[in-house]
Amino acid sequence: MPIRRPHLLLTLMLAALSGGLIQTQASADQMDNSAAMPAMEHHHHDMDAAAGTDTDASHDRHDAHQDAAMTHDAHNAHQSHMAMTKNTGKYTRKNGSYTLPKVKLLDMAGQAHTLSDIIDTDKPLIVNFIFTTCTTICPIMSATFSQAQDILGPELETLKMVSISIDPEQDTPEALLKYALKFQASPAWDFYTGKIDDINATLKAFDVYRGDKMNHIPVTLIRAKRDASWVRLEGLTSAKDLVMEYHQAIGGEHFSKK
């Protein structure tokens, strides 16, 4: 597969190597699964399933596998997710303005950045909220971001895409790194995690906090520039729709140059 960010792969391999020096049995198992190149190949399949329209088969398998373990509430949330995944291409759009908390988030290398440093950029922003172990809407949203990169092409250099984890306990910087590689994230697309309180404060500020990751909603936020209000898309967009919404949001001054 084409690796858009060879430096990410290198970081991942270095992380695996340094982990190897002080490995426990559990981490050794993890490394075996994650660091080896052949393991990456399996992810293609996941992504293809997520990107395609017919994911019913994987849903059924997923339902069967989850039924035993899930609580009633979680199961209901899961079912509503399943309903949502069948609605790709139906979304709502509204404007939003959000007051962001003074928190720090961690990038894929484990470096801390203030949320305002991440968000306060002159580049247009596209932001979503995901967790790497999600088997429902997040792989679809991430495949959409991945495909949007292809549509945007050279225009990618003029914008920033940001995915913020809603599951900071599972989503270590290394987990995000693997996820970024799986979805062929370009240098324009960054992933962040952080301390639970900081992540929750961030999610609350963007009105995407739903108390439990199983209840999360598909939200994509687009901001044309620093002082502009946000365009809030709720629901699953196709990559084409996302790019169309992005171009609409950044408006004439960028768009008319094309």
In the complex, what is the shortest distance from the CB of residue 214 to Cu ion, in angstroms, rounded to a whole number? Answer: 8
Instruction: For tokens 């693997």, name the residue.
Output: 178
Which residue among 134, 159, 203, 219 contacts Cu ion (CB under 5 A)?
134
* Listed ranges 28-36, 52-60, 138-146, 151-159: which one lies at the site for Cu ion (CB under 5 A): 138-146
Binding span for Cu ion by CB under 5 A among 1-9, 21-29, 92-100, 130-138: 130-138
Alpha helices in 56-122 (DSSP H): 56-67, 72-85, 115-119
State in angstroms the smallest separation of the CB of 210 from Cu ion. Answer: 11
Among 12, 106, 118, 138, binds Cu ion (CB under 5 A): 138
Determine, following the binding rule CB under 5 A, whether residue 243 of this chain makes contact with Cu ion: no
Minimum Å gap between C-beta 132 and Cu ion is 9
Binding segment for Cu ion (CB under 5 A), chosen from 106-114, 126-134, 180-188, 234-242, is 126-134
Of 124 and 168, nearer to Cu ion (C-beta) is 168
Structure token pair of residue 130: 């995901």
Q: Per-residue x/- mask for Cu ion, residues 177 to 196, rule CB under 5 A?
A: --------------------
What are the Cα distances from residue 191, in Å, to 39, 67, 91, 142? Answer: 21, 31, 23, 11
- Of 60-68, 132-140, 143-151, 155-163, the window that binds Cu ion (rule: CB under 5 A) is 132-140
Kindly report each contact of residues 106-113 with a partner whose C-beta sits within 8 Å and lies 24 or more positions away, as own/partner.
106/173, 106/192, 106/193, 106/194, 107/173, 107/190, 107/191, 107/192, 108/8, 108/11, 108/173, 108/174, 108/176, 108/177, 108/180, 108/190, 108/191, 109/11, 109/173, 109/177, 110/173, 113/192
Q: Which residues pair with 191 in a beta bridge?
A: 163
152 binds Cu ion (CB under 5 A): no
Q: Interface with Cu ion includes 203 (CB under 5 A)?
A: no
The stretch near Cu ion (CB under 5 A) out of 42-50, 70-78, 135-143, 178-186 is: 135-143
Question: Is residue 108 a contact point for Cu ion (CB under 5 A)?
Answer: no
Cα 166 from Cα 189, distance rounded (Å): 17
φ and ψ of 118, to 5 deg: -70, -40
User: Which DSSP state fits 87?
Assistant: T
Binding site for Cu ion (CB under 5 A): 134, 137-138
